[in-house]
Amino acid sequence: MNEAYLKPTEFVDSDSPAVRDFAEKTTAGAVTPREKAVQLYYAVRDGIYYDPYRIDPSRGAFKASTILAKGYGYCVAKAVVLAAVLRAVGIPCKLHFADVRNHLTTERLKALMQTDTFFYHGYNDIHLDGRWVKVTPTFNLSLCEKFKVKPLDWDGAADAVFHPFDLAGRRHMEYIKDHGSFADLPYDAIINTFLTCYGDAAKNQLSRPNQAGDFESEAQMEAEKKTSSFENSKE
C-alpha cells in the first residue's frame, strides 16, 4: 500500500544523487526511521529558505534536486524536497495539499496575490510506526522569529501543522479546503489554479520568477506593526 510513496517520481526524484547525498549526510548516526525523519524535517525546514517571491513555473524547477541546489522555495517546493529525502532513506511520504487562509501574510505579498488565501499550500504525510503523520516544513526558524509565530517543532509522533493563532493570540492560519494526498506533484493542477485564482498577479509573478525581495525583513516589519496595533487596541 505504501509502495507508491517510496518510489522516485518526476518531481520527487529521490533517486537523484544530490537528494540521496543530502539524505544520507543528514541522517548519519540516526538509527530508527523516526530519528531519520525528524532530522530530515529540521534540515528541510531550516535549510531551505522560504521565499514566496521567486517561483519558477517551469516543470524542472519543481524537482526536489533542483530546489535543493537553489536552497530556497515556497511551501510546495519544500514539501517536494521533504518527500524526496524521506523516500531516499526508505520512509514512505506523500505530498498533501490544501487551501489555507493566512492572516499574517505581508502587505507586498498580499498585494501581489490579491488575496489572503493560499491555494494548494503544500505539506506532507509521513508514514511512521504504522500510521500517517501530517508535517509542515514551510517556515524556517528565523522567519518564525521575525513573524512572531511559534516554529513548528516535530517529535516524529504527533502532527505538526500550522497553529491557528500566533504568539500574540491573533488569528494565524485557517485550513479551508483539502485537496488530498498525492504520490507526485499535481503540477498542471497547481499552475492552472494559480492562473485561475490569482489572475494577472499570478501571470506577472510567474513570468518574473526571480523577483528580488526579502520576505523575512518584510515579515519582521509587518509583525512589529501589527503587534503595536494589537496592543494599542487593548488599551
First to last CA, the chain: 56
For the chain, give every domain's residue range: 3-230
Question: What's the pTM value of the predicted model, to 2 decimals?
Answer: 0.88
pLDDT > 60? residue 136: yes
Into which CATH architecture does domain 3-230 fall? Roll (3.10)
pLDDT band for position 209 (50/70/90)? low
User: How far, in Å, CA of 197 to CA of 130, rounded?
Assistant: 37
Q: What is the pLDDT of residue 216?
A: 77
Q: Where are the beta strands (DSSP E) in the chain?
A: 49-50, 72-73, 93-102, 117-128, 131-135, 173-182
Give residue 86's pLDDT band: very low, low, confident or very high (50, 70, 90). Answer: very high
What is the per-residue pLDDT across 43-65, written as a single tens digit (0 to 9) for each? 999 999 998 888 888 999 999 99
Q: Please tell me the distance from the alpha carbon of residue 85 to that of residue 33, in angstroms, as a whole number.
A: 12
Per-residue pLDDT band for 230 (boundaries 50, 70, 90) equals: very low
Instruction: Report the C-alpha gap between 176 and 213 in whole angstroms.
Output: 28
Torsion sign (Cα): 160, 104, 52, 22: negative
pLDDT over 60 at 159, yes or no: yes
DSSP label at residue 167: T
* For residue 68, pLDDT beyond 70: yes
All cell numbers assigned to 61: 524547477
Question: pLDDT per residue over 165-201, tens digit each?
Answer: 566 666 667 889 999 999 999 999 999 998 888 766 6
